């Protein structure tokens, strides 16, 4: 097979930013919440797919009854943006309520052959299960999956998946072309609220050997991009990008991309891969590079494998000290309309500026990094 070149971090910001505010996009999540409220005994809540006074009163009742000790307590008021989080967090209350989430239904999966489709299905199922077991996260939004060896084909697949849900989105070919050539020469991925697109290098033939060789790389790429999907849902669709006022959106790029790269490390760790080598590389790049976390705040500022590894190491130290739930709680706070700084302090108990300052020292001194990790 051709040498593997990965284009990571293609978190597709522009395409779907604000999409949940468009008419109809929130309807499956509103229906989810209304069905859950009815199952919890709130009989005056009808399933209409539209937020109304009965639905708002219902979620307020559920928050009062079940909010203590759950993620419901910090959710923002019910709206077309936050309804996806209400669907997810009410779903966590009792057995059976998750069956009402859109994610409980199988995704649409498109490949260029039956073998590719089955590979995509099985890989995605394993990745979903990993996030459930390791991170304890069950996203409410259903993610459809497509993979191809051509940007043109992948764009067609993306549009087809969109049409199966409703209206398609313009400029798909432009967005897909950022991560996938025609024919493709590399691996690439894009994560949206409702789609995960994967591109792999073109081959003249695809058989059992190709499937065996690509399976591991495909899983790592899906793990990385699925974290972007999780980030987006937890943040209630607050995505950043050029022209969007990046400090009002998702958070620093090193957190966004570092968390996704760290998920790859955790995936390898859980499955008996060479995670020790991965961590050693991240530590080495962090020690040798002059790029700081302060220089990786704005959207698009994390570039190249080396910088992804620095970002990963930055998030790794946080997760080791405060636990894997803390990283997800950062985006929960963003979704509750917290600023970057207040969300960071809420999740980790220290200011973002303070941590970035400490990281400058810890990246050069393994003993200090270990001491930071050891504090619980």
Alpha-carbon span 316 to 263, nearest angstrom: 10
**pLDDT surpassing 50 at residue 3:** no
- The pLDDT value recorded for residue 238 is 78
Q: What is the pLDDT of residues 28-75, one digit of tens each?
A: 999 999 999 999 999 899 999 999 999 999 999 999 999 998 999 999
- The pLDDT value recorded for residue 370 is 95
- The pLDDT value recorded for residue 10 is 39
Banded pLDDT at 241 (limits 50, 70, 90):
low
Query: In the chain, what are the domain boundaries?
Result: 6-13+105-233, 21-101, 246-374
Q: Provide CB contacts within 8 A for 227, sequence distance 6+.
A: 259, 260, 263
- Are the C-beta atoms of residues 101 and 30 closer than 8 Å to each other? no
Alpha-carbon span 62 to 270, nearest angstrom: 36
- The pLDDT value recorded for residue 198 is 97
Q: What is the pLDDT of residues 252-298, one digit of tens each?
A: 999 999 999 999 999 999 988 888 899 999 999 999 999 999 999 98
Higher pLDDT residue, 166 or 1? Answer: 166
Q: Residue 170 carries which DSSP code?
A: T
Q: What is the pLDDT of residues 317-337, one digit of tens each?
A: 999 999 989 999 999 999 998
pTM, entire model: 0.91
The token pair that represents 41 in the structure block: 């005994």
């Amino acid at each position: 097979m051709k040498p593997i070149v990965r284009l990571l971090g293609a978190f597709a910001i522009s395409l779907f930013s604000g999409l949940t505010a468009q008419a109809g996009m929130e309807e499956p999540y509103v229906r989810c919440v209304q069905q859950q409220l009815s199952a919890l005994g709130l009989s005056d809540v009808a399933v209409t797919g539209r937020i109304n006074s009965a639905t708002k009163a219902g979620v307020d009742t559920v928050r009062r009854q079940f909010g203590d000790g759950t993620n419901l307590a910090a959710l923002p008021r019910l709206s077309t943006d936050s309804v996806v989080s209400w669907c997810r967090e009410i779903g966590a209350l009792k057995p059976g309520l998750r069956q009402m989430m859109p994610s409980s239904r199988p995704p649409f999966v498109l490949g260029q052959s039956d073998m590719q489709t089955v590979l995509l299905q099985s890989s995605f199922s394993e990745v979903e299960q990993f996030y459930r077991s390791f991170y304890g996260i069950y996203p409410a939004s259903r993610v459809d999956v497509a993979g191809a060896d051509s940007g043109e084909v992948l764009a067609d697949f993306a549009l087809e998946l969109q049409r199966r849900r409703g209206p398609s989105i313009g400029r798909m070919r432009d967005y897909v072309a950022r991560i996938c050539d025609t024919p493709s020469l590399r691996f690439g991925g894009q994560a949206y609220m409702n789609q995960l697109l994967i591109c792999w290098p073109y081959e003249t033939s695809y058989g059992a050997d190709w499937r065996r060789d690509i399976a591991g790389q495909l899983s790592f790429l899906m793990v990385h991009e699925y974290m972007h999907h999780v980030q987006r849902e937890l943040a209630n669709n607050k995505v950043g990008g050029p022209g969007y006022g990046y400090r009002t959106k998702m958070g620093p790029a090193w957190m966004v991309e570092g968390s996704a790269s760290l998920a790859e490390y955790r995936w390898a760790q859980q499955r008996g891969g060479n995670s020790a080598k991965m961590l050693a590389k991240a530590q080495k790049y962090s020690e040798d590079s002059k790029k700081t976390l302060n220089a990786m705040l704005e959207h698009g500022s994390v570039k190249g494998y080396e910088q992804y590894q620095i970002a990963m190491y930055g998030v790794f130290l946080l997760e080791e000290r405060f636990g894997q739930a803390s990283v997800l709680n950062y985006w929960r706070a963003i979704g509750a309309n917290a600023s970057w700084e207040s969300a960071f302090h809420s999740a980790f108990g220290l200011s973002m500026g303070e941590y970035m300052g400490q990281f400058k020292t810890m990246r050069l001194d393994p003993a200090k990094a270990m001491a930071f990790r050891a504090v619980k």
